[in-house]
Amino acid sequence: MEEGKVIDEALQGQATMVEGKKENSKKLFLESYGCQMNFSDSEVVASILAENGFDTTNNSEEADLVLINTCSIRENAEQRVRNRLKQYNKRKKQNPSLMIGVLGCMAERLKQKFLEEEKLVDIVAGPDAYRALPGLIEEVEGGQKAVNVLLSREETYADIAPVRLDKKGVTGFISIMRGCDNMCSFCVVPFTRGRERSRDPESIVKEATEIFEAGYREVTLLGQNVDSYRWNVSKKGEIIDPEKPTVNFAQLMEMVAQVNPDLRVRFSTSHPKDMTDDVLEVIAKYENICNYIHLPVQSGNSDVLKRMNRGYTREWYMDRIAAINRIIPDCSISTDIITGFCGETEEEHQDTLSLMEEVKFQFSYMFFYSERPKTLAERKFEDDIPLETKKRRLQEVIDLQHKLSNEFNKNEVGKVQRVLIEGFSKKSEDDYVGRNSGNVSVIFPKEDAKPGDYVDVEITDYTPGSLLGKIVKS
């Protein structure tokens, strides 16, 4: 059985093509794995290297440099990358001048070890070291191996205009913060991404304005815990520079929503312990902030949540769900779930299923627990749930989610929804696919509309993964 199949898409490597300066003579093949943050970082990397001699190519055969932006979140995410590296290493044997680099979370986690384990890797650069890439490449061209895995307390790449790698040109991502200070006991991210830091709000609004002017119609604001975004305020709540304004996440969203009413705003990820009503009120106030919240619960049992060090109980989570339903009627909610965490009993697992039924999630990313080196859970608890049990529980969670998604989508039939067209559907060039405000894919005959347009679609049918419909003329 595959680990929750819904995550497959997020983990697919994605190759990308960009043209930089006219005089660029070398080719970069960039492949990204992991979360949206990694895809967004790859756009920063492409931008830095476009200024330093490299155009990107979508044909790895013609590359002078292959960079793999990696993820460490679960063991199988790392395994995938190791397999890819083996393939590139074979190619390097035939073409010794090919440079191979590893970026992102796995680079940060394994550091120097990467050079010892994977002998044919030339460059190892952690998530805060991308400005150093041109120098690292020079070292390699001079015949050495090059590593930079320094984490920073300040780096946000705020001044770098990312090269948009998604060629469709309708939806884009903007990183608003980096790192994470939460220390959930199962999670490797605080070790691979370093301390939490927020990005200058002016640079965020500028990027949102530029992306809108370039024809994009949707931005997703990214952070591991967007609700703890804060500018000019210390962690203790003190104002840092009295001359300057302070900005929290609710205020930042408002600033981005005001860029243009035709620019949709999404965000990810919210943390149940920090998501406040003022954020929900801003979502309700602005038509162009989507009625969709990704609120990872991880488990429906308070003891498991305590062992996970998540900072909330089941009751607290349900209170946040009640607040969403009260303040934003018609908001769709998705989540992340881990099955088989250390010590999880059958009753505790049942609590996850019952919470799912209570909330009626529209969608979930579902995983079985994978122990990660150095994390609190690895040091404190035994990874004692047998793999078959973890997988059986995961399958129960997947089956229930399938049923809930079906019910949710069935409920949408007959409604007319505003959809932003993203492009052709996977199956046919006669149909378009876009998403409604609740982040559900909607497929419909294209008629005379075009990608980037908003259309009103009447929902006529559904599958567990998408809604089907037809454009209604106003």
- Write out the residues near ligand SAH by the rule CB under 6 A: 73-74, 186-187, 189, 224-225, 269, 271, 296, 298, 336, 338, 367, 369-370, 372
Integer Cα distance of 153 and 176 in angstroms: 15
Q: What number of residues does the chain have?
A: 474
CB of 458 to ligand SAH, least distance (A): 34
The one-character DSSP state at 130 is: G
- In the complex, the residues that contact ligand SF4 under the rule CB under 6 A are 180, 182-184, 187, 189-190, 224-225, 271
DSSP 8-state class, residue 289: B
b/e burial code for range 235-255 (CB count within 10 A of at least 16 → b): eeeeeeeeeeeebbbbbbbbe
Q: Which does 104 bind (CB under 5 to 8 A by kind): ligand SAH, ligand SF4, ligand F3S, none?
A: ligand F3S
Smallest distance from the beta carbon of 327 to ligand F3S, in angstroms?
29
The minimum distance between CB 179 and ligand SAH, in angstroms, equals: 11
List % helix, strand, coil for the chain (3-state, nearest 5).
Answer: 35, 25, 40
Q: Considering beta carbons, is residue 10 or 413 the nearer one to ligand SF4? A: 10
- Supply the minimum distance, in Å, between the C-beta of residue 132 and ligand SAH: 26
In angstroms, the Cα distances linking 50 to 20, 27, 143 are 4, 10, 22
Which CB, 100 or 355, lies closer to ligand SF4? Answer: 355
Shortest distance in whole angstroms from residue 350 CB to ligand SAH = 19
Q: Which does 369 bind (CB under 5 to 8 A by kind): ligand F3S, ligand SAH, ligand SF4, none?
A: ligand SAH
- Please state, in angstroms and as integers, the Cα–Cα distance from residue 77 to each residue in 7, 90, 149, 295, following that order: 11, 21, 20, 22
**Which residue, 73 or 366, is less far from ligand F3S as judged by CB?**
73
Whichever of 187 and 421 has its CB closer to ligand SAH, that residue is 187
**Is the bond leading into 156 cis (omega within 30 degrees of zero)?**
no
| CA–CA separation, 16 and 31 (whole Å) | 7
Q: What span, in angstroms and rounded, lies between the C-alpha atoms of 102 and 260?
A: 38
Token representation of residue 178? 């980096």
Decide: is 73 part of the binding site for ligand F3S (CB under 6 A): yes
Copy the structure tokens of residue 118: 């994977």
Residue 136 interface partner, choices ligand F3S, ligand SF4, ligand SAH, none, CB cut-off 5-8 Å depending on type: none
Q: CB 238 → ligand F3S: shortest distance, Å?
A: 29
Which residue, 46 or 338, has its beta carbon nearer to ligand SAH? 338
Name which of ligand F3S, ligand SAH, ligand SF4, none residue 370 binds, using a CB cut-off of 5 to 8 Å depending on partner kind.
ligand SAH
State how far the Cα of 121 lies from the Cα of 111, in Å rounded to an integer.
Answer: 12
Q: How far is the CB of 126 from ligand SAH (least distance, A)?
A: 18
CA–CA gap between residue 363 and residue 265 (Å, rounded) = 19
- Which one, 80 or 372, has the nearer CB to ligand SAH? 372
Compute the distance between CA of residue 288 and CA of residue 301 in angstroms, rounded to an integer: 35
Q: Show contacts with ligand F3S in window 191-210 (CB under 6 A).
A: 192-193
Residue 261 three-state SS = coil
Q: Does 42 bind ligand F3S (CB under 6 A)?
A: no
Helix axes 277-285, 314-327, angle to 10 degrees: 20
Cβ proximity to ligand SF4, 185 vs 437, nearer residue: 185
Q: How far is the CB of 180 from ligand SF4 (least distance, A)?
A: 3
Closest CA to 332 of 356, 357, 366, 360: 360
Contact of residue 74 among ligand SAH, ligand F3S, ligand SF4, none (CB under 5-8 Å per partner type): ligand SAH
468 beta partners:
443, 461
Alpha carbon distance 158, 231 (integer Å)? 13
CB of 472 to ligand SAH, least distance (A): 37
Q: List interacting residues with ligand F3S (CB under 6 A).
A: 34-35, 37-38, 71-73, 104-105, 188-189, 192-193
